Every structure is written in C-alpha cells, then in structure tokens.
Structure 1
Amino acid sequence: MGDRLSIGFDLGGTQVRAALVAGGGVRRRAAVLTDVAGGPNSVVGQFRALAAKICEGIDFDHIGAIGIAAPGPMDTETGVVDHIPTLPGWNEFPLRQRLAEEFQRPTIVENDGIAAAYGEWKHGAGKGLDHLVYVTVSTGIGGGVVVDGRLMHGRRGMAGHVGHFQIAPDGPVCSCGAVGCFEAFAAGTALGKRAHMAATGDPSGYLGSKASSEKIVSRHVVDGARLHDAECLALLREEAEYLGVGFTGLIHLFSPQRLIMGGGVAKAFDLMSDDIHAVIRRNAMAPFKDIPVVVAALGDDCGLVGAAALALAAVEPTDR
C-alpha cells in the first residue's frame, strides 16, 4: 500500500469533513452538513458514515490511526470537549474516547488551528522550517505555532488562540466576549459586517445591489474587488491593515521564519499581500520587518492532513 493510511476528520459548526490521507496527501475526501441539532451522538454517526465512504474498497486494517481537528477551546490532553460555541450540547463530551471505541484505532483530538499548522509545517508552506506561525482567517481567527522545531501545545493543549489578543483598547466585541481582539477586527465575519454597513450606505453600489437578494458576507467583498469595485477594494485595504497589525504582533511574539495565512479570507491574499507586508514593514521592529507572509499551500485540506499526520505521529513518533 506504500505510505501508511490514516483518516483525518474536521469537525465544524457547518460541515463535518473526512479525508483518507497518505504521505501528507489526500487520497479521498467526503463531507456532510453537521447535524448540530442531533448533538454529539448523531455527529459520531456522521463520522462513521464518512469513514465508510472514503474507505470503500479498502481493508480497514490498513488504517493506522484516526485524527480529528475540532474548534476550541478544548482539552486535547484528555480529548474531552470543553466548550464549542457553534456546537451546543458538546460540553464535557469525551470525543477522543468515543472515536477510539467507534473505530478501534489509536485516536487523537487536536485543536483545528494547531492541526492546520502541523499540516502546513510537515507537508505545506512551512516544510523544512523550525519556526512558523499559522493563522486561519475565516469565520473567526485561529492558528498554531511551531517554535524551535516543536509544535507548541501549551497547558491542556490550548496554545495558539492567536485571534484573542487585544489589538485595541476598544472596538468591536469579540465572539469570546472581550473587546478589541484581533479576531473582532479582522475575521471574515468582521469584514462581512463592514461590507453590510457599506451596502446599506450605498444601495446603488456593487454591494448594495447584491444586498437586495443576498446576505452580504466577506466573499462578496472579494468578488467585487476582483471586478475592481472601488468600495470593495477599500474594504480589502482596511482588512489588510488589520491583518498586518495582528500579524506584526504575532511576529514579535514568536519570531517565525514565515507566517502562513489560511482560511476563507486567504482566497483574497493576492489582493492584500502588498498592503499586509507594507504594514509589517511600517510597524515591526527592524529585525522582524522582512518576515514573509505566504498563503497556505494545502488550502482547505491543511487541518485534515494535519490531524491525520498527527495521529500517525502518535503511533509512530517523530518530531511533533
């Protein structure tokens, strides 16, 4: 069979995804809308069905381990869910134990940002580096950090909540309840809110016309910017300013060789890269001004690949 096979799951508030992974590459993938109302027991059934789909025609004995990337905060040392705001009813759910029992395979549970960081470190844009920061900019902002050639976990495996440091003493209220967090300013949700306000202020503009039939989200800003709409381009420049400020803080904190950006908003990275780097050059201390920001090489698969690779690394220990 060549490279050992493992399964990576990604648990999200919208979708549950699964991938059959070998050698850092996705062989097969499948997804289904998360049965939020059905609670954890129903979602475990979805994991089972997705695994059957991606492993069709394969002897399950070839599957070495199971890894799941899940939103936090969660205690990855025990594998017990602490609290997932988008998934009510999961508090204190023994996720690792249930999946290990379900699949009879060694199983790890990892924060989705840390799993994605590991995927990019071992198989993507961070391959060969000893120091990197991965930031996913999507509905919220999360991430993971590699320092001195080691994946940083911290107390209870909860390190890397890079969206929840304060970049302003006031400002919008964050999903965590604090005010002025990086996430509150720069997440895709925040960009979508600013776009909605722009659409309301100019009903005849690109965003205003879209708002007549759709809910305005960050994707509309990117679409409009690619059509050279001035309002959308201005919104992306503002987004790049916020990202640059947050990224500069992370660069100062962790001194990475590279900062890797993933998530839905990263699809507009080519439109924001120059502005993001200009903010870093403006704000960073001299030794940090040249740290490059790059887009995630694995795209949406980095969490799936990372979770699957971490699971195999737990069975066949390598550098973590």
Structure 2
Amino acid sequence: MKPVIAMDIGGTVSRAALISGTDIHWRAQRSTPARAGPEAMLETMDELLREAPAAAAADAAVGVAIAGQVAEGRVSAHNPALLPGWTDYPLQARLARRWGRVVRVCNDARAAAWAEYRHGAGRGCDEFLFVTVSTGVGAGLVLGGRLHQARNGMDAELGETLLPDGRTLENLASGTALNGLARAAGRADARALFDAADAGDAAAEALLAAGIAQLARKLGDLAVLLGIARTALGGGVGLRPGYLERLQRALDGLPALYRQELRRAELGGDAGLVGAAELARC
C-alpha cells in the first residue's frame, strides 16, 4: 500500500506521520500556534512536511485532521475568539497549491471515527458512532458503512446539541466543564473529581453523573433516530477508567429501545492520524 502523510492538528500539539494501512513508519510533532492564525499554522505544517522521509514521501498524498467545522476543505473554528482567523478558511485549497500534492482536510473526530470503524472498535458494525470526551465533546458517524459528512460540515457535532436548560452537551459533559465543576466544589480539576468519586465520595459522583446521564440520553436518541448499534468512546475523559462503566449504567437505565453496545476506542491517540491517512486515499 502506498504510504500517505497524515497530520493531526490539535489545540496544543500538531503531529505528522507517514502511514501505510495502520503501520506508522515515521512521526514528528510541533507545538500548535493556535492563537497566531492560519498563516502561522501553515508554516508549522510546512516544517512537519519537510521532516518527512524524502524517498518515501516524495509524492505522497496528505490527509489533515483538524478540530472545527470542515466544509468541503474550508475550516471554521467553533470559537473564533480562541482561534482567530479560522472562519471559512480554505485550508485544503491553500495546502494543495502550496505543496503541489493531493490534500484532503477533514474534522479530527470524523477522521478518528473512520479509523475506528476500519481498524478498531467499529469493525463489523455499519451503524457506528465514535464519541470523544476530552477538552470538548466530539463525534463521528458511520452510516451504512460510509462516513457521514454533511456539505456544511455540521454532521456529527454531538457536543453542540442542546440540553433542556439551553446549555449544550459540551457545556456540561466535557473535560473543560468538569474542570469547572471540580473547582467550584473545591477540587483541583476533573482528574481530582474522578479520583474522589472512585474513592466513594457521593458528592463528586453526583457531579460526574449529571453530564454522563445527558450523554446517555443523546446516545439513546441516536439509537432510535439513526439505528446506531455500537458507540466507541475515546478522549482523555472517555478513556478514563470507570467512565465507560458509568455511562453503561446510565444507558442501562433507559428502555431497551434506546440501548446500544458501548466499547472503548482501540486506536488511542493515533486514531486521527490513521483516519486522515485513510480519507486521503479515498
């Protein structure tokens, strides 16, 4: 299989790899200049590309996974105040002209979903959902064995869905939200909140349960709306020991019609890279 260069552009770290299938032959990373705007990001990506092994990567296609709304290769940040300049930015076209290569840009959670479907926890399940609970809440959908990608880029923004009180799911269930709840309760951060709950602290457990219960209801809705049969959990919070078990209990509390199989994501931090490489080959 011809190798592909994959890049995963995160909020703090940007990574690159040369990938054949799921085999990673080379890696590099740089700090992400998130607040410096798109031009600074392009320079960082140039640096990563220059480090790739010249012989293997000479004419390789490039797949780029990036956070935010991605519509036909154009990227918009969900919060432009935190990522200035990323409003309908034509990243795919700019990179293709800059590098003279085939370039495919996709949302990072969608890339991870495709990787998990092809090579990880989603294998054999054609109605599959990948959910990442980390700094935010993201997702990717596979329907009928195909990655669902809407023309406007708003195809699996689970974290942006509304709760009955008008907040978004991300405002309640993300790592950022849990950090805020933890500090308000006198804990250092979300990790300390989980530690306290694991040690039997009922108040800490109740704070965790609120967001988990709402996530379970969203999964239940997707089970009946789209026929989702399996969900894989990823992200720093989602892969925390005990998180999946808590979510499973919340899901088991719903009527059988709304339940589905839950699994831990299998590809870890490489899912975005592997998915970006797979999509660059399409």
TM, length-normalised to structure 1 = 0.80
Give CA deviations for 1:273-293 in whole Å, capped at 9, x if unaligned.
Answer: 333122212224x3343x111
Q: In structure 2, which of residues 205, 215, 232 is the aligned counterpart of residue 260 of structure 1?
A: 232
Greater Cα shift, 256-265 or 18-27: 18-27
Deviation at 1:165, TM superposition (A): 1.6
**Structure 1 position 68 matched with structure 2 position 64:** yes
Q: 1:50 to 1:264 in 2, by over 3 A?
A: same
Quote the residue 1:26 is aligned against: 24
Tell me the residue number matched to 1:272: 243
Query: Structure 2 CA distance, aligned partners of 1:30 and 1:271?
Result: 32
Deviation at 1:237, TM superposition (A): 4.0
1:312 equivalenced with 2:281 (yes/no): yes
Aligned-pair identity (%): 35
Q: Deviations over 1:149-199 (max 9, x none)?
A: 11111233331111122232x1xxxxxxxx322111111111111111111
> 1:49: how far off?
1.2
Residues 140 and 187 in structure 1, CA contact (< 8 A), matched pair in contact too: yes
What CA distance in whole angstroms lies between the structure 1 residues aligned with 2:56 and 2:167? 51
For residue 257 of structure 2, the aligned residue among 282, 287, 292 is 287
Residues 229, 21 of structure 1: alpha-carbon distance in 2 compared, 3 angstrom cutoff: farther
Using the size of structure 2 for normalisation, the TM-score is 0.89
CA distance in 2, matches of 1:166, 1:89: 26
1:46 shift after superposition: 0.8
- Note if 1:198 corresponds to 2:185: yes
**Partner SS state of residue 15, structure 2:** strand
Matches within 5 A, 1:126-165: 126-165=122-161
* Aligned 1:95-174 pairs, distance under 5 A: 95-168=91-164, 170=165
- Quickly say closer, same or farther: Cα 1:225–1:31, change in 2 above 3 A: farther
Residue 47 (structure 1) shift: 0.8
Is 1:297 equivalent to 2:266 in the alignment? yes
Structure number with greater Rg is: 1
- 2:8 aligned with 1:10: yes
Alignment gaps of 5+ in structure 2: none
Q: In structure 2, what is the Cα distance between the partners aligned to 1:243 and 1:35?
A: 31
Instruction: Report the 3-state secondary structure (helix = DSSP H, G, I; strand = E; otherwise coil) of the residue aligned with 1:166.
Output: coil
Matched residue type, 1:310 = L
Relative to structure 1, the CA distance from residue 93 to residue 197 in structure 2 (aligned partners, 3 Å threshold; closer, same or farther) is same
Distance across 2 between alignment mates of 1:45 and 1:195 = 37
Question: Is the Cα–Cα contact under 8 Å of residues 18 and 24 in structure 2 kept in the other structure?
Answer: yes
SS in 1 for 2:53: coil
Partner amino acid, structure 2, of 1:80: R
Distance 1:92 1:133 in 2: 26
8 Å CA contact 2:18, 2:57 repeated in 1:
no
Runs (5+) with no aligned partner, structure 1: 171-178, 200-206, 208-215, 314-320
Q: CA contact under 8 A between 2:4 and 2:57: conserved in structure 1?
A: no
Instruction: Please tell me the residue identity of whatever aligns with 1:263.
Output: G
Cα displacement (A) at 1:129: 1.8
CA distance in 1 between counterparts of 2:15 and 2:78 reads 17
Distance 2:147 2:26 in 1: 26
- Alignment equivalent of 2:219, drawn from 247, 258, 267: 247
Q: For the structure 1 residues 137 and 123, does the alpha-carbon distance in structure 2 shift closer, same or farther, using more than 3 Å as the test? A: same
Counterpart-to-counterpart distance in 1, 2:144 and 2:184: 43
Maintained 8 Å contact 1:24/1:309: no
Pairs within 5 Å for 1:43-54: 43-53=41-51
1:276-314 per-residue CA deviation (whole Å, 9 max, x = no partner) reads 122212224x3343x11111111111111111110012x
Matching residue of 1:210:
none
SS at match of 1:64: coil
**Counterpart mapping for 1:169-188 below 5 A:** 170=165, 179-188=166-175
Q: d(CA) in 2 for partners of 1:197 and 1:140?
A: 19
Letter in 2 for 1:217: D
1:56 aligns with 2:53: yes
